[in-house]
Structure 1
Amino acid sequence: MTTNPETPPTDEIPVQEPRDPAGKGAVADSTTGKHAAADPAVVDPADAAAKDSSKSVTKATRISGTWIAVIVAIIVLVFLLIFILANLTSVTVSFLGMSGELPLGVALLFAAISGAILVALIGAARILQLRRRVRRAAKH
């Protein structure tokens, strides 16, 4: 039983009104004897079981995650293609004493890819470092 920190705990157990035997969701009012609409907070165990079984059928899988990644990648590639085609003006690029002319969109794409590779290398080095620490800690 959970308690609210603002109110002192009581030994009372909440009483739930009985459900209609026909299972229509109506409950009998104890004062009038008439049927009223069911309380939306009251959950029928059969309904809960049906909802749980539908969740297990539609659970996310690795393949569904892969499809989402493929769709996102396609959208990103379309935007990159549009960006490159919109920036075809040639520019002179100089790097480490070398220079050449490239379309602006391609030059910016190369710069972005170079930055991503640099970040990936630093991240991979950190992951390897942490794995070594875990292995050494497990040996001791």
Structure 2
Amino acid sequence: MTAVPASGAEPTPNKDTQKKGQGVLKTRAGYAWVGLVAAAVLGIVVLIFILQNLEQAHVQLFTWQWNLPIGVLVLLAVIMGALVTALVGGYRILQLRRAAKKTAK
């Protein structure tokens, strides 16, 4: 028998009334699987974006010139932004590690 709170909320389940699947351990492999599925869905969305934006755009950087689809240009800009962010973040992590080693001595 389950206890019914005075507030009128749902009763608290005991071991006999728990639903299947509760208490299942969450593992790194499970999180990795979810991440892979999310990455695949995101990849499909990016591919659709590129295929819908195939109009050519003229790009000039210093003396270099290209004609690329707009979707590819946006993708390249996002990749470059992610790389710059990773470089800055990596440098900051190195600074913090050096500072932690100095204070540990």
* Shorter-normalised TM range: 0.7 to 0.9
RMSD: 2.2
The structure having more radius of gyration, on CA atoms, is: 1
Q: Which amino acid aligns with 1:121?
A: L
CA 114–40 in structure 1, closer or farther in 2 if over 3 Å, else same:
same
Matched, 1:95 2:67: no
Task: Write the deviation string for residues 25-51 of structure 1: whole angstroms up to 9, x where unpaired.
Answer: 2xxxxxxxxxxxx5324868xx36x96
Match of residue 112, structure 1, among 66, 75, 78: 78
Q: Give the TM-score normalised by structure 2.
A: 0.81
Task: Write the deviation string for residues 73-106 of structure 1: whole angstroms up to 9, x where unpaired.
Answer: 0011001000000000111111132111011111
Q: Give the TM-score normalised by structure 1.
A: 0.62
> May I ask how many residue pairs the two structures share in their alignment?
97
Match of residue 73, structure 1, among 39, 43, 61: 39
Aligned-pair identity (%): 34
Matched, 1:127 2:62: no
Distance 2:100 2:4 in 1: 50
Question: Mind listing any 5+ residue stretches in structure 1 that lack a counterpart?
Answer: 1-24, 26-37
Q: Which amino acid aligns with 2:4?
A: P
Q: Which has the higher helix share?
A: 2
Question: Mind listing any 5+ residue stretches in structure 2 that lack a counterpart?
Answer: 6-10
The residue that corresponds to 1:7 in the other structure is none
